[in-house]
Amino acid sequence: MELESFADEFGPEMIVEVHNNKAGLKGVLIIDNTALGPGKGGIRMTPTVDVEEVFRLARTMTWKNALAELPFGGAKAGIIADKVDKEKKKSIIQSFARALKLVSPSKYIAGPDVNTTEQDMQWYAEANGNWRSCTGKPSNVCMKLFGKKGEKCGIPHEFGSTGFGVAHATVVAATYSKMDIHGAAVAIEGFGNVGTFAATHLSEFGAKIVAVSDSKGVIYNKEGLNVEKLLTVKADTGSVINYRHGSVLANKEIFELNVDILIPSALPDVINKGNVDRVKARILVEAANIPMKEDMESILHKKGILVVPDFVANAGGVISSYAEYRGHNPKRMFELVEGRIKKNVNAVLKRAKKENVKPRDAAMEIAVERVKKAMQKRDK
């Protein structure tokens, strides 16, 4: 993909290609826009990642960070690699971190993404030499690497900030739709990090989780599922379908259930031309990235189904990153996630109603306005 085919007034500002034959490293960093602050975005490691994919993800981060009112711009990094052993992976990550020292953390702050973890972020910080160079680190990384006794500056994504934020986004959407969250029937596609925490918190808020899925299938009970027992079954047996008090359905059926709220939290493009007309939920909260294309959102919008877009609903992770970057503890992080998610979902839904547009359009308008304003201020 040629640079001219995707460059515009917003960016990208910088494309850095990194090669290290000895380490087996071939990677790219795209810093899209830094008008609001250093570019923030994770490092994904797959055999197929390319410049176009990294750019699109970097641009999404520009809008997500702007909408969340964070002092971050948008960036993303990709490393081309298949499955590698621990030592090889450490060598690749640390070679990448050393190569990016000139721009990280001044212009780029890394984080975990597809096939990278808190352990990888520890390696990145170690090689970079600055604890602010990345987020998503183990909670003891400051004490371990930088000699700050008693201070813990890592907030791993395993704390569940994204799912926590999704739960609060769902409550705001329900309130906006004059739906009582207490007893509202919720179906959640995906029972990984995001889906499990969303289910846990929504259950605590009084919602009735009636269906969840994983790669093996869907477990459904219209009277409700016990989330704590589901977590145990998943951990013990490897799949939610082994939960005894419910019906096992095919994965595709979860999107067509007669529920109040549907939360796709795993795979892309799960709502598509083949099933969009059979979605019965009144509210759909996009916990996963790109669970449907924009034209599918338009179809649901015309049917009167409220869709809270991905970069609005799932911003809890990047808000957590900001909390870690500032050196906050987990308690303060959760307070920030709750406050920012509630504020921004409300702002998006009110604007969408006022302008008679779908929520994604309203969210994009807000994000673009914030970035343009920051660019004008910077360029004076």
Fold of 161-316+346-364: Rossmann fold (3.40.50)
Provide the pLDDT confidence category of residue 220 given band limits of 50, 70 and 90.
Answer: very high
Mean pLDDT of 120-141: 91
| Ranges of CATH 3.40.50.720 domains, the chain | 161-316+346-364
Mean pLDDT of 320-330: 87
Q: Which long-range contacts (CB under 8 A, 24 or more apart) does 173-180 make?
A: 173/261, 173/283, 173/285, 173/306, 173/308, 173/345, 173/349, 174/260, 174/261, 174/283, 176/306, 176/346, 176/349, 177/282, 177/283, 177/306, 179/260, 179/261, 179/282, 179/283
Is pLDDT above 60 for 204?
Answer: yes
At 27-41, the pLDDT tens digits run 999 999 999 999 999
| Ranges of CATH 3.40.50.10860 domains, the chain | 3-154
CATH number for the domain running over 3-154: 3.40.50.10860
**Residues labelled catalytic:** 76
At 249-297, the pLDDT tens digits run 999 999 999 999 999 998 888 999 999 999 999 999 999 888 999 999 9
**Which segments of 168-327 are extended strands (E)?**
185-189, 208-214, 217-220, 247-249, 261-264, 283-285, 306-308
pLDDT at 375 (0 to 100): 96
Is pLDDT above 60 for 149?
Answer: no
> How far does the chain reach from its first CA to its final CA, in angstroms?
32
Mean pLDDT of 142-151: 62
Instruction: Pull the structure tokens for residue 40.
Output: 């923030």
pLDDT at 5 (0 to 100): 73
Q: Give percent of the chain with pLDDT exceeding 70.
A: 96
b/e per residue 100-130 (b: at least 16 CB within 10 A): beebbbebbbbbbbebbbbbbbbbbbbbbee
pLDDT at 2 (0 to 100): 58
